[in-house]
Structure 1
Amino acid sequence: MARRLSPMGPEFVTSAPVRLVFAREVSAPPAAVYRALAEDVEGWPSWFRAVTLCRPTGGGTGREVKLIGGTRFAETIVAAEPDERYAYRVDETNAPGLRALVEEWRLTASGSGTRVQWTFAADGSAPIRLVLKAARPGMGQAFRDAVKTLDKRLAASRTEH
């Protein structure tokens, strides 16, 4: 059964009780990374292994996401700044214990590429906070793998054009 979460805004990424922040440099330019994040929503499963389904909803104002293991999210886009920032909050999920969840992707030009920073900002029951903090290494690895795969995918598309 879907559970409604608190409707937090993008500022939650700086004030959440649990903040997991990961960053990695990629060779793709910010515009290409932003397009993959915000415009090619249905392409997420091809580069983020934990994501099995990602599709736009509400005419592009939201997303439906499914993860390996069956976790589902109904999300609302809370920030879409081309080539700089893409953020969404979870409105409904089947994950127990969560009260609020916002994810933000920040893009910063770095040489000829991009510094990609992902912030996972959450609130929940005491047990879920502990679980999320303990999951930091695994989430970090998932992020690094995803961004590396995305960079390879974007490089391949650049050479095809």
Structure 2
Amino acid sequence: MTEENGKLGTSTITQIGLLVHDIEATSQAYAEFFGMENPEWFWTDTVDKALTEYKGELSQARAKLAFFDMGSLQLELIEPDHHPSTWREHLDAHGEGVHHIALIIEGMKEKIKVMEGQGMKLVQKGEYTGGRYAYMDTFQQLKVMLELLENDAQ
């Protein structure tokens, strides 16, 4: 791995995730502000499909998601349910606002090991249709959480 590719093999931020209390109102506000179509929100998959793990334990946690394509990156709005998750914990502790920045990577298990070797612990992981995600606690080093996204080969 060359220095220019860093620890994850990429330096391209693909997404910014915001936690919100009311996805409908916030989504409408973004749509109006940017003159864009208001995307439909949807629920994340149930634990039997998503295999959501929070702090090493299976979690029933789900969230409403809405995505805005903002040129070179995507804005993700997240309204979590009441079950334990990084989303719920962060929203309760810090209120609405930025939760993470995301990068698309290849080799999820290896990248998690590299990051954990740097003191960046895995907080939550799960599956989505077409791939998987992992939230890494990078607050001490990077002052924001990183989300790793790995999409299945098309």
TM-score by length of 1: 0.29
Higher helix share: 1
Q: Please state which structure has a larger fraction of its residues in strand.
A: 1
**Normalised by the size of structure 2, how large is the TM-score?**
0.30
